[in-house]
Amino acid sequence: MDPHRLLALFLSEGRELLNRVDAELLVLERAPDTRAAIDAVFRALHSMKGMTATVGLPASTAALHAGESLLSLARDAGALSVPQLTALLELNDVMRRALDAAEQGREEPAALAGLTQALDALTPQATSTRDARDRASAVRAIRRAVATDHAPSRSPAHGDDAVDDAPAHPAARDAVAARTVRIPAQRLDDLLDLVGELVLARDRLVRTAQPSADDAARRALDDTSKLVTQLRDAILTSRMVPLSQVFDRFPRHVRDTAHALGKDIELVLEGRELEVDRSLLDELSEPLLHLLRNAIDHGLETPDERRSGGKESRGRLVVRATRDGSMVAVTVADDGRGVNRLRVAASATAQGVVGADALVQDDAGLLQLLARPGLSTAEMVTDLSGRGVGVDAVLSRVQALGGRLDLATAEGAGTAITIRLPLSVAMLRALIVRVADETYAIPLAMVHATYLRDVSPRRDDASRHVVDIAGERLKLVSLRSHLGIPASDDVSGHLVVLDGATGRMALLVDACTSHEEIVVKPLQKVRGAAAMFSGGTILPDGTPSLILDINTLP
């Protein structure tokens, strides 16, 4: 196999195995005598050891072998001790660094040598009997090699040596492998680009087809159009991956953070099987980690605080994913202290926010204040929080992906923050607007409403342009002014009401032309270029259009 492909396969499978080890070790932390979890960790480390040996990582192989020996001892003892568990958690962390180093072409982490010695020190019996165990393993391998295909297979559930055995029959392994194929992500991106161009070519062909075309030609065109649509849908489906690939990283993160803060937290994951576009999955991890850190640090109380408030000593943190029409909704909810509205209002007022006391009375206004850069209610700055870069970073990232953020909180009962995103960020619904002779796309998820321009703007007490729409006073932004296009004498146009990062606003455009489903094409980042757009697309009539990043609006 090509070394680059072998390394890519190792990195992908290795990270999956390490996530699995984390999950099983957290089970063992609660119930150290769970034999199934000990066996599962053993199998994962055994697989990792073989993979590291294949790609030439000797220090990693030695450390994983020491981990295997420790687990053999724990399996014989019937339970995993606290020092053994701590060492295995450290092994998992260092192995993650080893995979990162292999991916970047660097040397293996120096910590592996000392970790191997520490693991050996925790397994004196396993160290003294290692040669005997290796010989027994070799004997079993020889017996399997000389067995006929008709020999009865032994279930892995039977006997202490079941963990070391290979699957019952080669055909079974082949059948499992045949069901999945690992494809480089770039190939899927290339396929999506090609099918996007094909859809555009199809649409142009349909538009230019002569109405007088004969029935056979019309039927052929209709059939081709349906096939192109089916091909597009099939490629989009092939890009879908389960949220478990992100969710499975959270238990270890929550466990370590809770321990560092002296808190006892139960994490519940729901909707792990829900599938989203791969490119969305890549972008979802960091915002969710921000929300988890905020919930653990700000929301959930210590055991003593919870007991004094009449609650169970263990806090509850839920990450739940559900389908919401064409969107996916991921909620991070806790049963902690809730957001202190008075403290938020005081912090916002200290920053010079006018009307903060009124804004905090409803959840939408409260979220608007929490998302202000630099606003924090923490009493001190720590490694986890206190610098006011949590909610604003989440909101900006979510809106850049064409989604929105919702908040629900009650003091003493807890907080729930929901991220709503399109199932695919490769294709999304967009409002197409026109300014001068150019068209621009706005993600439809950010659009609250559109109105004909039938009111004149005015200035408020802060000398900002505002407009009153449906009983609500909104800040007014001219897209012409934002893009540096000279103002027009034409007083007509449309107002697009947007849910922006700093609250609801009205965007003045020359016209709203249509709603379209667009294929998003990323833009090359050029130093010194204006950061006004999050991507580009080609409209059905062949017109290129830029996708407006509303987070850049003043």
The residue whose two tokens read 């290692």 is: 130
Supply the pLDDT for residue 535.
83
Residue predicted with more confidence, 449 or 218: 449
What are the tens digits of pLDDT across the range 486-536? 887 766 789 999 886 567 889 999 999 998 888 787 776 555 555 688 888
Supply the pLDDT for residue 183.
75
Average pLDDT, the chain: 81
Supply the pLDDT for residue 457.
66
What does DSSP say about strands 447-452 and 438-443: parallel, antiparallel, or unpaired? Answer: unpaired
What are the tens digits of pLDDT across the range 388-417? 446 888 887 887 777 888 899 999 999 999
For residues 159 and 140, give the distance between their C-alpha atoms in angstroms, rounded to a whole number. Answer: 13
Q: Given pLDDT bands bounded at 50, 70 and 90, which one contains residue 364? A: confident
Residue predicted with more confidence, 554 or 67: 67
What are the tens digits of pLDDT across the range 371-395? 887 776 665 445 445 434 468 888 8
Residue predicted with more confidence, 473 or 288: 288
Show the CA angle centred on residue 470, arms to residues 464 and 476, nearest 5°: 20
Please give the radius of gyration of the chain, using alpha carbons only, rounded to the nearest integer.
29
Residue predicted with more confidence, 488 or 128: 488
For residues 552 and 545, give the distance between their C-alpha atoms in angstroms, rounded to a whole number. Answer: 17
CA-based nearest residue to 550, from 396, 432, 424? 396
Supply the pLDDT for residue 168.
39
Note the Cα 218 to chain centre separation in Å. 44
Q: What 8-state DSSP symbol labels residue 242?
A: E
Structure pTM?
A: 0.69
Percentage of the residues of the chain whose pLDDT score is greater than 90 = 36
The residue whose two tokens read 């849910």 is: 499
Note the Cα 64 to chain centre separation in Å. 29
Residue predicted with more confidence, 352 or 175: 352
Q: Given pLDDT bands bounded at 50, 70 and 90, which one contains residue 148? A: very low
pLDDT of 107 higher than 90: yes
What does DSSP say about strands 503-509 and 494-500: parallel, antiparallel, or unpaired? Answer: antiparallel
DSSP H helical ranges for 273-404:
278-294, 303-308, 341-350, 356-359, 363-370, 391-400
Supply the pLDDT for residue 140.
52
CB 388 within 8 A of CB 395: no
When pLDDT is averaged across residues 81-92 and rounded to a whole number, the result is 93
pLDDT of 95 higher than 80: yes
Supply the pLDDT for residue 38.
93
Q: Given pLDDT bands bounded at 50, 70 and 90, which one contains residue 456? A: low
pLDDT of 329 higher than 70: yes
